[in-house]
A and B are shown apart, each in its own frame.
Chain A
Amino acid sequence: MDTVFGVSYNGGGEEVDGLEWRPKPPDAKNPGDVGWLWALCCGGRREARCPVPLAPWCGTSICYSHSCCHLTLGSKHPVVLATDQVNARSILMYQQNLDKIAELSSHSAMGVSGPNCDLVNFSEYVSKNLKLIELSNDGQKLSTHAQANFCRGELAKAIRKGPYQVNIILGGYDEKKGGSMYVMDYMGSCVKQNYGAQGYASNFCLSIMDRDWDEGMNEEQAVKVVEHCIQELKMRFLINQSNFIIKVIDKEGVRTLKFDADPADN
């Protein structure tokens, strides 16, 4: 948390070597003023104080507001997508039952992270366009590869105008090739991978998936790895993420395997 916190306050663009929390003695008149966060630059020769006195826990939620994490596991057979279910901005939590996995066609879905506006806008834009293409192709479905490249193209187009602040993991199942997944960032890079995680979660999950992912995993095993990742997040991640949603894509199509909070609840 500190790194992001420091960088975001060090808008001048200087490298931050470290951060230091310098608490103040408790002040009865001003209970919110508990200390300052200092960013140390140039090997400690320069230092800058954050302009606003903030309690460290405030920083946490600010940092976290624009990022959520999702993780995906692909293998020959099923693709497992999971995201957290938080919709939050700034220090406000709006909902905890958001479904961030948009279903694109009967056999593909994408997990999207970013501010809720871009998240909804982009996933609707892509899914509706893919539906349109499918209809005008006489019901012929696009392959996962084609869908991912369409999606990537839209991100790349947008980066020159008004970027969508979304990172994406798109998974799908093709009759011939089986499951596959593509990891994209908002700038329009796209890589086909066997597992991936974005946002803060990647710090915790990639190593787990690196160790546990296996070519011939079945659905049960893949889901187990994802749940292991979620367990790790709950245990080690500073930000408490209580709710996750997991979807599976296999030859039967996309289905919601489980969630902690029902997205249908209002």
Chain B
Amino acid sequence: MARRYDSSTTTFSPEGRLHQVEYAIEAINNAGTSVGILAKDGVVMASEKKVTSGLLAPARTSEKTYKLCPHATCSVAGLTADANILIDQARLRAGRYEYQFQEPIPIENLVEHVCNYKQAYTQYGGLRPFGVAFLFAGYDETHGFQLYQSDPSGNYSGWKATVIGANNQAGKSLLKTDYGSKKEEEGGDEMKTDDDDAPPEIELPDLATACRLAVKVLNKTMDGAVASPEKLELFTMSLDEDGECVHKILNAEESKAVIAEVEAEAASSGDTSEAAAKAEPNESPAWSCSSTDLNSVSESQRLNSLQKG
């Protein structure tokens, strides 16, 4: 009976549902996974790159991670063509805001604008909703580093760690147990950020730890397929000495180093990821030596702790 209400996005079904919108959300659950993790000195986003054909010319720029403005980046799950439209909107909005106020746009403002645009397509006749979910990573003066997730319905929410795309349920449950320090047994079933008054039990990880956790989650969502630098893309956002945002997509070598550490960790703490989850908070100085980028990251960590102190 649902057929009658399938074709139009603008009509509620008798059960009070918008089927087209739900299908769009469903479409994203088959798309390449993206993981976002908030760290105390930055944000990490890791995405699964689907390898379609070896003959395909490698993309010059990332197909998953797009810079929106100097202080915001998004990661895409879903239809790339649809995403491009929304990314254009976001860039335009960020640019206009900066033109009008001579200040960087607050991240939530940017996210809200994109989501309002998405929402319109669930309401006005003859249009199909955007088949895209985003992770937004950003930094602003008032709220520091932030991570948001949005879906085709136009809903958005702020998170400390979240997953979109294929197998996101499995990814989220791993994050639930592994994210934050495990002083308390409950790893925080309420992961939504509440800006300042976050529950004290959840302590934000540092960037390196967050990177490893992201790879670990991606390992799980990719269903046992061994993660390799060709299949995943690691993005980090942090601050440099001048307080400017640094966007970085880790190159093959750097990603390889992170993956190797995750594997080493899993091996040392028993072999399943379950056991790895129970291991003590990951602290491996190896990471900071292995990657060239890490010098600047540790620098900004130091700076952050100085500012806090």
Contacts and interface: CB of A to CB of B under 8 A. Distances in A.
Interface in A150-205: 150, 153, 176
B101 A142 contact: yes
Given A140-B142, A176-B141, A146 B103 contact: yes
B101 A137 contact: no
Contacts of B103: 143, 145-146, 149
Contacts of B305: none
A146 B101 contact: yes
A150 B101 contact: yes
Given A137-B109, A138-B108, A150 B141 contact: no
Contacts of A140: 106, 142
B203 to A, nearest CB: 25
Size range of the chain B interface in the assembly? 10 to 19
A133 to B, nearest CB: 9
Contacts of A138: 108
Contacts of B100: 149-150, 153
A138 B143 CA distance: 13
Contacts of A143: 103
B106 A137 contact: yes
Nearest to A175: B142
Contacts of B108: 138
A105 to B, nearest CB: 14
A149 B109 CA distance: 18
A176 B108 CA distance: 20
A176 B101 CA distance: 18
Nearest to B109: A137
A146 B102 contact: yes
A150 B69 CA distance: 20
Contact of A145 (B99, B102, B106, B142): B102
A127 to B, nearest CB: 16
Interface string B109-135: 100000000000000000000000000
Contacts of B141: 176
Contacts of B99: 153
Interface of A: 137-138, 140, 142-143, 145-146, 149-150, 153, 176
Interface of B: 99-103, 106, 108-109, 141-142
6 contacts: A140-B106, A140-B142, A142-B101, A145-B101, A145-B103, A146-B101
Q: Which 5 A-B pairs have the closest CB atoms?
A: A146-B101, A149-B102, A146-B103, A149-B101, A153-B100
